[in-house]
Structure 1
Amino acid sequence: MKNFEYKRAESFEQAGEMLAEKGKNVLIAGGTDLIGSLKDRILPEYPDALIDIKRIPGSDTVSVEDGVLKIGALATLTQVAESSETKQFAPLLAEAAKSVATPLIRNKGTIGGNVCQDVRCWFYRYPHETGGRLICARKGGDQCYACQGDSRYHSVFGGMRAHANPCSVGCPAGTDIPAYLQKIREGNWDAAARIVLRVNPLPMLTSRVCPHPCQKNCNQRKHGESVNIHCVERSLGDYILKNMHKYYRAPDSETGKSVAIVGGGPAGLTAAYYLRGQGHRVTVYDKMEEAGGVLMYGIPEYRLPKHYVRAVVKAIADMGVEFRCGTEVGRDIKIEEIEASNDSVFLDTGAWKQPLLGLDGESLTQFGLNFLVEVKQFMRKQIDKNVLVCGGGNVAMDVALTAVRLGAEKVTLVCLEQREEMPATEEEIARALEEGVEIINGRGLSKVIYENDRVVGMETNRCLSVRDENGRFHPTYDDSDLFTLKSDCVILATGQKVDLDFLGDKFKDEVKSARGLIEVGEHNETRKPGVYAGGDAATGPDIAIRAIRAGGNAAKNISSYLGFPVHECRGDQDDGFLRFDREGTQAHQANRQRELPVSQRTLADEDEYSYEDGTAEKEAKRCMNCGCYAVNPSDIATALMALDATVVTTRRRVKAKDFCTAALRVSDQLLPSEVIEAFEVPVVQGAVMHYDKFRLRKSVDFAIVSVASLYRAENGRFTGARIVLGGVAPVPLEAKEAEGYLIGKPVGKETAEAAAKLATRNAVPFEKNQYKVNELEAVLKASILRIK
């Protein structure tokens, strides 16, 4: 076992101070749990120091004062089990303490340590025994191995979030993807919509154009194909479109503050939605005829039909947002005028300018984004026969496919990256190949080949590497390896540039960064008070969902700046537990959207169809709702909850129910310098109370299921009930429905059976632990039938 620094605390307060010192420090009292964990090296990280609190005076007493049973945090389980006070006033606590393992454990283990002990889980405790070290969700890994592995001893009521899920981390907007997928599985589309709309008011658009980085992080990829998140989101976006009046509503009250938004792209629309929802007056300025930015003008109809964008813009306008389109800031109105007439300004002007690559003959090429904007003009004239598209991202794919569908005889795409490095999504690359686009990888652009004013080709050189050793974009080339691609038309889709000239020299100097972008802080604020920025204008060219994230963050911070801080409520689960569909997660092949055959694809019609009825729910069932599905190991916590005990710490007093159920780890409830000092249990009169526990062997403390119960009955009918279940959920679980049912019911077998069924009604067991439901019902029935 590793050597640790050893410190001894003389008081709980001193122990708290030591905990707060630099480094990872942990307490040791009985040591029955901690020593084994350290010896067996089951943790990914180990503490720097052990703080011994065993000898703190008066920390292990058990007494009754003023109708309250007081137990010091360092009282051993043997003391609690054998104390006459505990046996008399809280017998179920005495029974719970006695049920913990061997006499040796009871003699050493403390009541405080039992409440705070770490999980009992096969994958957590024995990480090497499946052929390789496992880093489970509770240790900071991506998944709970019970979801696809041995789940005999795990929760039958769902899991709890151990940390942010990989898919949500992969989403630039931070969408709580598992939460809305769970609601869709449950058939609650309204709740799913509200979860998504917290961070993304444009899901009907992003689901059609986003490269969905979330799916690259999906844990189902370890077993098969990722969950088709963007397809489910598309169905959800379609649902929102049909119910716009429910989700895009004018505010109930006005703040009297006004905000101007310059640019109606993804970030601007997002900021407008949230700012207006918070009650501010919002005006959007956009130089184009219609708002929407790149969503309206830079993405082809076959990927994003413009009627969807118009529908969203109209819905935001119906909330009370004023759109002044066809108004170019810097020409039709000065930015200073806008700033003077508003309380705050948000800048979102995108990246529409063509960057100069410095190629000979570059002026004879076309700019990819302009090509997409002007595609309707190309439809009225003949496109060149042999088109060369330069670039490897989704814009390049859009340009190439558009050229194909305009009637070009040959379309070739050349890019720096190798196929696996291309920034375009796999789906878009596959679509381009399917429609006849030839892709040439690993070539850079050397010069345009032209005769007089007519392009005839592009000279390329071999690209040796796209990025440097630090991962920064820094291509290197082999100029001895040259190859010319013949072409009548060269379209450059190698990126866009931000143009800040609309700000004027003085204003631009106040907000511009050295990179030629608008410089913003972590709250999207510029150096100019009250002026915020986001989207491509602040980051450079990027995907729409990142601009949406910036627009949402800016809206929240602008509102705070105006004196109206936003308070978010994020409760998504009705009882706090994560659930998944056991059979659905075993389907390792994703459900796909139906596509138009190649022969029927055009520039005007959408290539893909949204899921048919029922398919979104089916695909949502493939989500494992990754969290921790291990169960709380503490018998004492279950008993304290049933007794309505209070946890006394060096900083506060908190009910055991709140302390033991609010977080996956009880220890996470403690503040950095906080230490449990004692437990206070109100003396209960006139109740029959017991702690019943099913386990494999009496010498093993782990509860397969347990029931801490208090019952009152008069004249053969129940007048009171408190039932807390252990070993069946990530935290102790109060059986509230069963408690309510018992009141007024006659004592007897039928009542016991009905209450037991109610207590397990919401159980969602794994395939291998369904037996726990039966055992729980049996233990609970026995506890009820003990009443005569």
Structure 2
Amino acid sequence: MKPFSHINAKTLDEAVSALHSGKSSLIAGGTDLLGTLKDNILPEYPATVVNLKSVPGLDYIREEGGTLKIGALARLADIAENPAVTEKYTALAQAAKAVATPHLRDMGTIGGTISQLPRCWYFRKPDNRFPCLRKGGSECFAILGDNRYHSAFGGAKICDTPCTRECPNSTDIPGYFAKLREGDWDAAAQIFLKRHPLPMITGRICAHPCQKGCNRNQTDKSVATNCVERTLGDYILENADKYYAPPAAETGKSVAIVGSGPAGLSAAYFMRKAGNKVTVFDVKPEAGGMLMYAIPAYRLPKDLVRRVIDIYKKMGVEFRLGIKVGTDVMPEELERSYDSVLYATGTWKRPVMGLSGEELTVFGLDFLVEIKEWMNGKLGQEVFVMGGGNVAMDVAMSAKRLGAKKVTLACLESREKMPASPEEIERAEAEGIIIMPGWGLSKVVEENGVVKGMEIKRCLNTIDASGNFNPQYDENDKKIIEAENIMLATGQRVDLSYFGEKYEIQLNRRGFLDIDAATGMTSRKGIFGAGDAVRPGLAIAAIAAGRRAAAGMNTYLGVPNTAVTAAPGPLTFDAEGVTATEPLVLRELSVEKRRIDLEDSTSATREEALAETRRCMNCGCHAIHPSDVAPALIALNARIVTSRRTVDAEDFFAVKVASNTVLDADEIITEIQVPAPAAGSKSAYMKFAFRKSIDFPVVGCAVVTGSSPRIALGAVATSPIRAAKAEKLIAGKVIDETLAEAAGAAAVEDARPLRATKYKVQIAKTLVKRTLLSLK
């Protein structure tokens, strides 16, 4: 056992103050925390143990004004033997007596037993060998591992799952997957659209970093989120009138958005949904920004982008195209004419590299924008592309599809560190692109202004000792790649020259708009920034930035923002579906049939997408709350008083990281209050356990009969639960064998057992019946 400080608190204030100080833990009964200290099961080891049992006056049991009041330090043994508790609050007395051995009951306190840690093999494994969700990890190992003692009613969402954390937009992927598994495409769409209005686009083009975070990568292969998102996006597009309807009411506020790429379109959607008048300005003749002009049609069909723009127009979004801010309309004019302005322009500007012969090269983005002009044969037989991202892959594959016989792509990074997605790299190689990782540019090889090739040199490292991007080269290791055209896809720059010198707006040291991180507002009041104009990145990051900017603009305008909440209810998954190891793969054209203007892949059917959602583990925690007393308090409609608030027992047992209650780190239980039972009501508690020497419940059941019956089950779910359907069934009726059996069946109607917890459902069903019959 590691050394720790020990404090015998003399008052509650002293205990709270000690908890405020940092890594401290309370001890009341002793067994749970001592086990933690001995086995070191948690990554955060307490430096100080605060003994609460030394605080006087917290061990009382008394009735006052029709309410039973029990001090948090009252021993379970005393509660079990108290005449008033035994006679009037029988379920509580029976539950207190049911807590393991007489020795533990004599040590244990009521405050300690209801706030104890979860009962889970993986959580309590010594030496932290299983970094589960409750210990700050990313996975509940019970989903695919031994789960016989875990929840039979679904899991609990105690933190964002790794897929959601990896998504720049924090999309609730498990939430909408769960609705799809239920067959509710509308609910899935609503969950998705709360954060992201363009799934039909990102389902096709997003690099989907969420899949890198998927816990399935630890055992087999990630869930194919991109395939499911694409099919859901197509469904939303087919039902656009429902999901992109004009707002029910207008706010009277008007906003201008400069830029119609992913950030601008995202902001326009959320601003219009809120009821604002939205006008989008763009210099191009068609809206869509990079989506329309920079992404090849074989990845994102142009007609699909046009359909999205048409849907926006039906929502009431106005597009003013071919308008150049800074020339056709000035920033000052926009600021005067609209209540708020958002700048969300893209990175269309070519960076200057200082390379010898750079003027003879082609900017990769210009090549993609002007792709039709390259169809007349001027591309040449050999093309060299520099860059390791997805844009570089697009340039290389587009060149190949336009007829180049040989396309060579080089990049500074090693193969493992290339910024392009593995799928795009594999696709490029399948089409014959020669990829050379670990090489940098030296100089353009030319004769009388005619490109002959590119001299490259070995890149030893892209990062220096300080962690900064500072490529180091071997000047003695060089080679020449013959080429008729050299295309540079090594990055783009944002062009903010439209502001002019007189329009004072703060830029950061990198030359991007400097915004408030929380609101998206620039240094000018009412002027906001998002997307590449603030920080270049993935389309999904731009969409997230557009949504955040819209929220900031609404706040600035005094327009309410719609709350974004997670899907309610227990987390469930398909016990059979999670055993499938191979992910969904889209149907694609063969390499021979791929063209520059035809989409490569076909969306999965809804049936295929549904099957893939069944592979999702819906990574919540499935550990159960082990307290016998907890369901008795819920059935008796008790209240928990803390050093800070009073909480209904039914709301007290909320699950969060490393905890089974709503208690904050410096919050202490002081008293339990149980209202006097209604006239004619009776209560009882029963449990089923395997190991009498330890006697943790496999299932616990507390029942209160009478005019307003209450039934609570413990150890079957992540927190004690009310059996509402069973309560409704028995209300106002005389309990007999038939009714008790029906109530048992109703109590487990919503069970969603794991592979090995089906037996708990039968036990719970029987236990409800027996507990009810014990009160006849």
Pick from 520, 528, 535: which aligns with 1:532? Answer: 528
Residue 696, structure 1, aligned to residue 695, structure 2: no
SS in 2 for 1:510: coil
Deviations 1:582-621 (A, max 9, x none): 1111111111111111111111211011112311111001
Tell me which amino acid in the other structure corresponds to 1:445.
L
Please, which moves more after superposition, 195-204 or 465-474?
Answer: 465-474
1:65: which partner in 2? 64
Pairwise CA distance, 1:706: 0.8
Q: Indicate the residue corresponding to 1:399 in structure 2.
A: 395
Match of 1:556 in 2: 551
CA distance in 1, matches of 2:468, 2:544: 23
In 2, Cα distance between equivalents of 1:605 and 1:37? 60
The reply to whether residue 8 of structure 1 matches residue 8 of structure 2 is yes
C-alpha distance after superposition, 1:215-273 (max 9, x if no partner): 01111011101100111111111111011111112222222222111111111111111
Deviations 1:126-157 (A, max 9, x none): 245xxx81111111111111111110100001
CA distance in 2, matches of 1:649, 1:139: 25
Three-state SS of the structure 2 residue aligned to 1:123 is coil
8 Å CA contact 1:140, 1:163 repeated in 2: no
User: What does 1:581-730 align with in structure 2 at a 5 Å threshold?
Assistant: 581-661=574-654, 668-684=661-677, 685-712=679-706, 719-730=707-718
8 Å contact 2:16–2:666 — kept in the other structure?
yes
Shift of residue 534, structure 1, vs aligned partner:
1.2
- For residues 309 and 465 of structure 2, the distance between their equivalents in structure 1, rounded to whole angstroms, comes to 44
- The one of 403, 408, 411 aligned to 2:407: 411
Cα distance 1:414–1:252, how it changes in 2: closer, same or farther (>3 A)?
Answer: same
Equivalent AA in structure 2 for residue 215 of structure 1? Q
Contact kept, 8 Å, 1:127 with 1:135, in 2: the verdict is no
Equivalent residue runs for 1:568-579 within 5 Å: 568-573=563-568, 576-579=569-572
Aligned partner of 2:54 in structure 1 is: 55
Give the secondary-structure state (helix, strand or coil) at the position aligned to 1:582. Answer: coil
Secondary structure at the residue paired with 1:135?
Answer: coil
Report if aligned partners of 2:40, 2:126 keep a CA contact under 8 Å in 1.
no
Q: Give the Å deviation of 1:198.
A: 1.4
Q: Which is worse superposed, 488-497 or 308-317?
A: 308-317
Give yes or no for the alignment of 1:241 onto 2:240. Answer: no
Is it true that 1:80 corresponds to 2:73 in the alignment? no
Q: Structure 2 CA distance, aligned partners of 1:567 and 1:647?
A: 32
1:132-147 maps to which residues of 2 (within 5 A)? 133-147=129-143
Q: Secondary structure at the match of 2:587?
A: coil
**One-letter amino acid matched to 2:673:** E
The percent of aligned pairs where both chains have the same amino acid is: 49
Runs (5+) with no aligned partner, structure 1 = 713-718
One of 480, 486, 490 as aligned partner of 1:490: 486
- 1:344-363 matches, within 5 Å, as 344-363=340-359
8 Å Cα contact 1:723-1:734 kept in structure 2: yes
SS class of match (1:678) = strand
* Residues 639 and 534 of structure 1, relative CA distance in 2, 3 Å threshold: same
Letter in 1 for 2:516: G
2:280 aligned with 1:287, yes or no? no
Kindly state the Cα deviation for residue 747 of structure 1 after the two structures are TM-superposed. 3.2
Superposition pairs of residues 247-646 of structure 1, within 5 angstroms: 247-507=243-503, 509-523=504-518, 524-539=520-535, 541-573=536-568, 576-646=569-639
Give 1:468 shift. 2.5
Deviation at 1:569, TM superposition (A): 4.5
- How far apart, in 2, do the equivalents of 1:662 and 1:443 lie? 51
CA drift of 1:695 comes to: 0.2
Conservation of the 8 A alpha-carbon contact between 2:413 and 2:437: yes
The 3 A distance-change label for structure 1 pair 547 and 145 is same
Q: Alpha-carbon deviation of 1:662?
A: 6.6
Given candidates 733, 755, 770, the residue that maps to 1:782 is 770
Q: Deviations over 1:378-416 (max 9, x none)?
A: 224443111111111111111111111111121111111
- Letter aligned with residue 155 of structure 1: S
Match for 1:396: what amino acid? A
**Aligned mates of 1:457, 1:56 — CA distance in 2:** 82
Aligned AA (1:462): R
Q: 1:661 to 1:734 in 2, by over 3 A?
A: farther
1:327-350 CA-partner distances (Å, limit 9, x unpaired): 000110111110111221111111
Q: Residue 278 of structure 1: CA displacement?
A: 1.2
> What is the CA–CA distance in structure 1 between the aligned matches of 2:141 and 2:744, rounded to whole Å?
29
Partner of 1:208: 204
- Is contact 2:134–2:656 with CA below 8 Å preserved after alignment? no
For residues 32 and 289 of structure 1, the distance between their equivalents in structure 2, rounded to whole angstroms, comes to 72
Contact 1:390 1:493 (8 Å CA) reproduced: yes
Structure 2: unaligned runs, 5 residues or longer: none
Change (3 A) 1:84 1:744: closer
1:663 deviates by 5.0
Cα distance between partner residues in 2 of 1:397 and 1:163:
36
Equivalent pairs, count = 774
- Cα deviations across residues 513-567 of structure 1 (Å, max 9, x unaligned)? 221111122122211221111111111x311011111111111111111122425
Distance in 1, matches of 2:670 and 2:103, equals 23
For 1:269, the aligned partner's letter is L
> 1:787 and 1:75, CA in 2 relative to 1: closer, same or farther beyond 3 A?
closer
* 1:95-125: CA deviation from partner (whole Å, max 9, x where unpaired): 0001111111111111001111111111111
Letter in 2 for 1:14: E
* Matches of 1:328 and 1:608, distance apart in 2: 36
Distance 2:564 2:772 in 1: 38
Partner-residue secondary structure (3-state), 2:685: strand
Q: State TM-score, norm by structure 1.
A: 0.96
1:769 and 2:768 equivalent?
Answer: no
Q: CA deviation at 1:28?
A: 1.6
Shift in alpha-carbon separation, 1:665–1:134, aligned structure 2, 3 A: closer
Shift of 1:470: 4.8
In the alignment, is the contact (CA less than 8 A) between 1:724 and 1:735 conserved in 2?
Answer: yes
> CA offset at residue 467 of structure 1?
2.0
Three-state SS of the structure 2 residue aligned to 1:511 is coil
Using the TM superposition, give the Cα deviation of residue 510 of structure 1 relative to its aligned residue in structure 2, in angstroms: 2.3
> Normalising by the residue count of structure 2, what TM-score does the alignment of the two structures yield?
0.97
Which letter does structure 2 place at the counterpart of 1:705? Answer: V
In the TM superposition, residue 723 of structure 1 has moved relative to its aligned partner by 0.7
Once residues 754 and 401 of structure 1 are traced to their aligned partners in structure 2, the CA distance between those partners, rounded to angstroms, is: 65
- What does 1:25-40 correspond to in 2, within 5 Å? 25-40=24-39
Q: Please point out which of 221, 228, 233 is paired with 1:225.
A: 221
Q: Distance in 2 between matches of 1:277 and 1:726?
A: 43
Q: Is the 8 A contact 1:711 1:722 kept in 2?
A: yes
Query: Contact 1:498 / 1:517 at 8 angstroms: preserved in 2?
Result: yes
Change (3 A) 1:616 1:471: farther
Shift in Å, 1:731: 0.4
Say whether the 8 Å CA contact 1:257–1:343 is kept in structure 2.
yes
Separation in 1, partners of 2:465, 2:772: 68
User: Against the structure 1 CA distance between its residues 663 and 466, is the aligned structure 2 distance closer, same or farther, given a 3 Å change threshold?
Assistant: closer
Question: Equivalents in 1 of 2:165, 2:334: separation in Å?
Answer: 37
Picking from 724, 738, 743, the partner of 2:731 is: 743
Residue pair 1:161, 1:664 contacting (<8 A) in 2 also? no
Counterpart of 1:19, as a letter, is L
Bigger shift: residues 319-328 or 724-733: 319-328
| Contact 2:154/2:752 (<8 A) preserved | yes
Residues 352 and 499, structure 1, Cα contact 8 Å, conserved in 2: yes
Structure 2 partner of 1:715: none
Contact 2:115 2:661 in 1 (8 A): no
Alignment root-mean-square deviation, CA: 1.6
